[in-house]
């Protein structure tokens, strides 16, 4: 018997996916949650799920936030993101958070089965279009990252690391043994490089592009 968690706030959709699951995995125990809060409460009671079907657009928190929580709580279930949001950035972020597959809300039984099989064989499931747009997106990231890597200095990298730790200009200046105005110059160059509006945006961009901070 499989334990399955369905997280979605649309009752009609929950009904639909539940019947799909019953069809593919008869005798499964299906728990449903309608928002992030309920999900976390459920997971604190038990993390012993085999499959989780997660809607990325929940009323209270984003599905990506929940994916982080799954890792935090060491949930071992396979997570399939079910969403009408086909934005490659979302897909990329979800995969980085170890989601196992994506199906759009217009799926059919075949897709459903294929997705679960692919995941059980150790793969990640995306449909053709999603895979293509993800590839595109990663190309974009690749180019940006390469450009930044070619243009960032060692000192700037150090500064970036310190910003990400939330250090102030003063602290950074002391640690790097340079003046505060030099720190400011480094930081403004960093913000230019990452096309960011402020420090936290800069750090977020660096993370998005896959810099280890």
Query: Which residues are at the interface with another protein (CB under 8 A)?
Result: 71, 74, 76, 78, 95, 98, 100, 106, 119-124, 126, 128-129, 131-140, 142-143
CB of 120 to another protein, least distance (A): 6
CB of 29 to another protein, least distance (A): 17
The rounded distance, in Å, linking the Cα atoms of 193 and 187 is: 10
CA angle 115-121-124, nearest 5°?
Answer: 50
Judged by beta carbon, residue 126 or residue 193, the one nearer another protein is 126
Judged by beta carbon, residue 44 or residue 177, the one nearer another protein is 44
Give the contacts of 185 (CB within 8 A, at least 6 positions apart): none
Judged by beta carbon, residue 35 or residue 133, the one nearer another protein is 133
Judged by beta carbon, residue 75 or residue 173, the one nearer another protein is 75
Give the contacts of 78 (CB within 8 A, at least 6 positions apart): 50, 51, 52, 100, 101, 119, 120
CB of 9 to another protein, least distance (A): 21
The rounded distance, in Å, linking the Cα atoms of 10 and 12 is: 6
CB of 178 to another protein, least distance (A): 30
Judged by beta carbon, residue 119 or residue 187, the one nearer another protein is 119
CB of 145 to another protein, least distance (A): 11
Give the contacts of 174 (CB within 8 A, at least 6 positions apart): none
């Amino acid at each position: 018997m499989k334990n399955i968690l369905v997280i979605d706030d649309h009752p009609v959709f929950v009904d639909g996916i539940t019947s799909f699951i019953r069809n593919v995995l008869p005798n499964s125990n299906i728990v449903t949650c309608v928002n992030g809060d309920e999900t976390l409460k459920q997971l604190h009671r038990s993390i012993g799920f085999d499959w989780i079907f997660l809607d990325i657009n929940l009323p209270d928190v984003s599905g990506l936030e929940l994916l982080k929580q799954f890792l935090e709580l060491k949930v071992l279930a396979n997570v399939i993101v079910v969403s009408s949001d086909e934005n490659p950035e979302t897909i990329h972020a979800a995969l980085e958070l170890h989601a196992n597959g994506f199906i759009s809300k217009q799926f059919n039984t075949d897709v459903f089965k294929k997705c679960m099989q692919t995941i059980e064989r150790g793969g990640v499931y995306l449909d053709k279009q999603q895979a293509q747009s993800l590839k595109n997106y990663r190309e974009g990231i690749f180019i940006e990252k390469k450009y930044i890597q070619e243009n960032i200095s060692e000192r700037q990298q150090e500064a970036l690391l310190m910003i990400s730790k939330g250090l102030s200009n003063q602290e950074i200046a002391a640690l790097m043994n340079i003046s505060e105005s030099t720190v400011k110059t480094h930081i403004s160059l960093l913000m230019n490089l990452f096309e960011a509006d402020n420090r936290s945006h800069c750090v977020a961009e660096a993370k998005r592009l896959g810099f280890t901070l």
